[in-house]
Amino acid sequence: MAFVEKKLPDDAPIAAKALNWVDSRFPLTKLWNDQWGQYYAPKNFNFWYIFGSLAMLVLVIQIVTGIFLVMHYKPDANLAFASVEYIMREVPSGWLVRYMHSTGASAFFIIVYLHMTRALLYGSYRKPRELIWLFGFAIFLCLMAEAFFGYLLPWGQMSYWGAQVIVNLFGAIPFIGPDLSLWIRGDYVVSDATLNRFFAFHVIAIPLVLLGLVVAHLIALHEVGSNNPDGIEIKENLDADGHPVDGVPSHPYYTFHDIFGVTVFLTIFTAVVFFAPEMGGYFLEYNNFIPADSLKTPPHIAPTWYFTPFYSILRATTSEFLYVIQAGVAAYVALIWLKSSLGFMTKAAIAVIALLAIIGMMPFGLDAKFWGVVLFGGSVVILAFLPWLDVSPVKSIRYRPDWHKYVYIVFGIAFIVLGYLGVQAPSPMGERVSQVCALIYFGFFLLMPWWSGMGTFKTVPKRVTFAAH
């Protein structure tokens, strides 16, 4: 195709001429219109739909503040802690940049958890948005990896020993565990080699993958269209111009909607940064203001709060709890055989895998630490299967049976309790409560193919429900 540049009048503004020059060589205006300017979104979005934009904002904050921190940080075991103190005390506004970065990490996970909650409530993972959910799940995994690798960098007591504990978990994997732990650390203990490779992953490798996944997530979203609180596909009802009747252009409508949300968020974010950056030890642990000491173990080692729901499941997996899990696995296989429409070979394969797992949980099998790691990983990975576990005939919680709401509430409470217990010191009562909450957590997902389709569902309207505001 021959190169063609649009002709503009001689008296056209310089900005218009410059944009025309770029558009003839790069589809800048087309990208803007496709991805936002003329992208039609449902007109009944509520406040739950602000968290995607906020996640993008926090990602930018983390990248910018991270660049400035890297300018002064020393990835050396002998200099790392001192370089962080130098940033805090000597670099102009260094304390502000550091607190923005640390607060931004927690803000990122708060926003992502709320973003995932919205998807759960309104069925945003359902057909045709399965790939959007999978890209989002991959982003969540990258965020967890990014946070884990960055956690060691301050080289404080909790950073050092937290990394030691988490890396040692890989040692529970049969056969390859010890070698895998050694490979991750780069040494027999967390040392300068560990710090250097964690720094490389945190600053270069993971951010590149994360940015690619964010782009893929947005492209997939704008290809199939956004979901809405009613769970109605607005693309199925178009006007004479081919635009959704129940849609509005994202710009300017949701541009200003997002600006308002960003203003509220930045007000809260700024208040935390200036007045409570440690947030009582939840955002920045007090032990992390003490230099790492390989000869002095803190009395209680726990990961940052955003890992603790899954960490509680790991810690709740004791040798006694394995008997409960064995009974649960056997009952679940029986349920599949009696109430599932899966084929005979699939059921047989599930039964064989379950039998091997039950044998592996016997006293002569693999120890509880290994199964704790399995449940820890499984509690995260199971989120990826949500589009295929939910068989409800409707997407949105609005049109599901009322008792479904209580199922979601119980699940949410269990998740929050797991998160709280994960930052507390181990106790017999806490262990029992964690075990109950772990059963609720896995039961929510594993029993979803049955409970999500039960009850009397409300009629979904043909058009989205919308009240002007």
pLDDT at 294: 86
Q: Tell me, what's the pLDDT at 380? A: 96
* Cβ-based neighbours of 138, under 8 Å, separated by 6 or more: 213
Superfamily of domain 23-232+248-278: Cytochrome Bc1 Complex; Chain C (1.20.810.10)
Contact 273, 96 (CB under 8 A): yes
Q: Could you tell me the pTM of the whole model?
A: 0.94
Q: Write phi, then psi, for 99 (nearest 5 degrees).
A: -70, -35
Taking only Cα atoms into account, the Rg of the chain, rounded to an integer number of angstroms, comes to: 25
Output b/e per residue, 260-299; b: 16+ Cβ within 10 A: ebbeebeeebeebbeeebbeeeebbbebbbeebeeeeebe
Q: Distance between CA 231 and CA 398 in Å, rounded?
A: 9
Predicted confidence (pLDDT) per residue in 33-65, tens digit? 888 888 889 998 999 999 999 999 999 999 999
Q: Which stretches of the chain drop beneath a pLDDT of 70?
A: 1-4, 468-469
Residue 420 contacts residue 434 (beta carbons within 8 Å): no
Check residue 469 and give its pLDDT: 58
Is 2 strand, coil or helix?
Answer: coil
Q: What is the pLDDT of residue 302?
A: 83
Handedness of CA 134, 413, 378, 315 (dihedral sign): positive
Place of tokens 């190169």: 3
Per-residue pLDDT, 410: 97
Residues of the chain with CATH 1.20.810.10: 23-232+248-278
| pLDDT tens digits for range 374-403 | 999 999 999 999 999 999 999 999 999 999
Question: What is the DSSP code (8-state) at residue 287?
Answer: G
Instruction: Decide: helix, strand or coil at residue 410.
Output: helix
C-beta of residue 103 within 8 angstroms of C-beta of residue 269: yes
Rounded Cα distance between 40 and 57, Å, is 21
